Structures are given as C-alpha cells and as structure tokens.
Structure 1
C-alpha cells in the first residue's frame, strides 16, 4: 500500500510538471506570437496595395495559423512514448529554435532589393509546408526530440521532417534580403540545430517504433521531397 501510494504521488508530480512546463507555459508563450501576428495583420492588410504587400499579408496569415496551431497542439499533446532529454539536446533544441527569431532583431545589412521578392516567396512556401506538416503532426508536436505516434501521411510521405524543412526555408526567406553578419550567423546556427534535431528525433522514433520506423525511413527521404522515387534516401 505504501509503495502504491508513493507511485501515485510520483505520477501526480509528473502529471503537474507536464501540465505546467509541457503544456501551459509553452502555450502561453506562443500565445504572445499569436497576439503579435493579429496586431500586425490588421495593420498590413489595411495598407496593402501591391503584389508584395499581399504576399506579405498571406505570410502573416500563415504565421498566425502556425502559432495558433502551436498553442492548440501544446495544450493537447499526446503522452510521450520516447524522449531524448539530455541537457545538450535540450539546449540545442531551444536555442536553435529561437535563434531564427533572434536573427530578425539583430542589426541588418544593406537591404538587397533584388532579393526581397525571392525571399518573400521562399518564406511563404516554407510557411505553407510547415503548416501542412503541423496539420498532420498534430498532437505529436514537440521542440525537444520526443515520440508520441508515427506520422507517415501528407507531407510525411515526401520527407521525414517537413516542419523542420519549412521552418528552415521560412527563416532563410525572411532574412535573405536584409540579414547582416549577426543575422547570418544566427541563421547558420538555426539550420545546424535543425539538422541535429532531425537526427536526434529519428533516434527516438526508431526506439519507440522499432517495427515500423526503419521501413518508413528507408522509404522516405530525410530532407528534400522526392515524389518520383519513393524508396530514395537523401
């Protein structure tokens, strides 16, 4: 009876830690980005006149969708089936994730007008791909490497990491025309962190789904979508 009581107490403690640090705080944090996107969207939509303006509005709508989905998904995440919570992994995952956001606040270089439109298009495509990935990943989303369920449909039929690839494309597109050296370094760190997160996440998934993940990884490329060769690797 004592052992059972201790176990229940431990489960209760784990439950509250997951609720506060794994759900509520992340959801509240990303809610700030939702509010910011709503304010920006209301301003830019009223002043939109050109194609670039409306493309920027579309990008903000996608960003609003992205952050709104993060709030909902963090609040309703499925239980973990596997994790990699080594300190170094956690640090790289979080610092890498937010280095892309940091890059937009760092001192910029000279504005390269000829790269503005390509950057906007790349960022828009990246956001579309990320939102599409989140729509299939749903309640399995996490920043640190964790396994909840094996997702193989939608964009996950084309690439093992569509959300990460979309985020990389978005970050490059946003910074393409204006980034100075500080922003470029932050972007390089972000891309490196994303690549590491892909590898770590695959290790967690392989352990959590030993019967299914190896076949999926053999069938679907890690990086770039290749619908013409279903069994190719990259």
Structure 2
C-alpha cells in the first residue's frame, strides 16, 4: 500500500533531481575557461549543488515518520517556504553592480555551506514537511532549535541583495514568514511526538542563540 510519506518522498525526489541537474549543469561551462576570476561563483555553485544533492540523498534514505502535521496548510506552508525564493529569482533581474554581487555571493556561499553542515547533522531525520522522525538535539541543534532555517535565511538574504527590488524584498519577507510558520508547525508535532521536547525547548532557544544558559527552576526544599 502506498503511504502518504512514500508518495511525498517520490515527489520530493523528482523535484530535487531536477534542481540538482539545473544547478550542476552550469558548472560544466567552467571547465572550458579560466575560473580564477570566478572562483567564488564556482565554489558557491558547487556548494549549492551539493546542498541540493544532500537533500536528495537524505530524502531517499530518511527514516519512517513517528508523527506528521495534519491538514493542508502545514503542507502548503512547507512547500512555499522551501521553494518560494527560487521562483522569485525568475521574477526579478539581478543587480548590475559587481560589489553588490560580490557581497551577495559571499552571503549565499556562507549560508549554503552552513546549511550543508546542519543538514548533514540532521541526517535521515530531514523532511520538507512538518514531520517528526527523530529528535536531534546535539551539534548545531544544541545552539538553536532551527539552525538550518537560520543558515537558509543567510542564503535568502544574499539572493534578495543580488536581485534587490521592492518585489524581491516583499517576496523575501513572505518567505521568512513562511519559514517561521513552518518551524512552528514542526515544533507542534515534535512536542506531540517526543515528551522530552519540552525540556529541550526550555534549554535551547528557537532561533537566536542564547549567550547565557537558561536558568534552572529552583528545586523545592523540605
């Protein structure tokens, strides 16, 4: 019997495969010219392709879900939050400024490399939809509860700067809002699935790193 998770996996695998091909194809052109002046652009493209390929691998090998958010809204939010910024790139022209593009490229590169690290740490628990597979609380997930979204926000900021316009700003704000909503959906299903999530959420901030440890509740004394 085909389960919802299996069908969703097939759909994501198809989409990610197409994205990997489109992301990796431009790299072939760099083999036929001097890449010294475009080194950062090449490294960024390689990192982006690797990030998409890693998502593909993690989707294929992900572990079965223990809980999934119900309803159509969490699913639409997850899909829009994941892919809206890619659609936005086709709606807005790139800024014709080398200095702006260099800064934007740096943001995209940093965000992508950090995203690869977080995704690798998340491993087979990765899912685009709000799904509870395994509770990961170590590594970057011991600093904030959603480090992958923070890294992706750096990437999106670079995209907004690269294609800077009022439309791009509006779409960027919408994308950030969708990702926040997506994180909330994930937290809701994680709380329902893992009793220990409440203690984890008390210790670890959602998005902004805490510079001082959370105060422990005072123990009662006889």
TM-score band (shorter)?
A: 0.7 to 0.9
SS of the residue aligned with 2:162?
coil
Counting only pairs closer than 5 Å after superposition, residues 44-83 of structure 1 correspond to structure 2 as 44=30, 46-50=33-37, 53-83=38-68
Whether the aligned pair in 2 keeps the contact of 1:109 and 1:180 (CA below 8 Å) is no
* TM-score for both structures, normalised by structure 1: 0.84
Whether the aligned pair in 2 keeps the contact of 1:160 and 1:223 (CA below 8 Å) is yes
Structure 2 residue 214 is the aligned partner of structure 1 residue 231: yes
CA-CA distance at 1:147 after TM superposition: 0.3
**Among residues 128, 134, 152, which one is paired with 1:167 in the alignment?**
152
**Among residues 161, 180, 191, which one is paired with 1:195 in the alignment?**
180
Counting only pairs closer than 5 Å after superposition, residues 1-234 of structure 1 correspond to structure 2 as 12-14=1-3, 17-19=4-6, 21-44=7-30, 46-50=33-37, 53-108=38-93, 110-210=95-195, 212-226=196-210, 228-231=211-214
Shift in CA distance, 129/110, structure 1 to aligned 2, threshold 3 Å: closer
Counterpart in 2 of 1:3?
none
Equivalences, count: 214
Shift in CA distance, 182/160, structure 1 to aligned 2, threshold 3 Å: same
Per-residue Cα deviation, 1:161-188 (whole angstroms, up to 9, x for no partner): 1111111110111220322222222211
Shift in CA distance, 42/184, structure 1 to aligned 2, threshold 3 Å: same
* TM-score for both structures, normalised by structure 2: 0.88
Which blocks of at least 5 consecutive residues in structure 1 are unaligned? 1-11
Deviates more, 1:26-35 or 1:115-124: 115-124
Aligned partners of 1:187, 1:139: CA distance in 2, in Å? 28
Counterpart in 1 of 2:219?
none
Deviates more, 1:82-91 or 1:147-156: 82-91
CA-CA distance at 1:112 after TM superposition: 4.4
SS of the residue aligned with 1:176?
helix
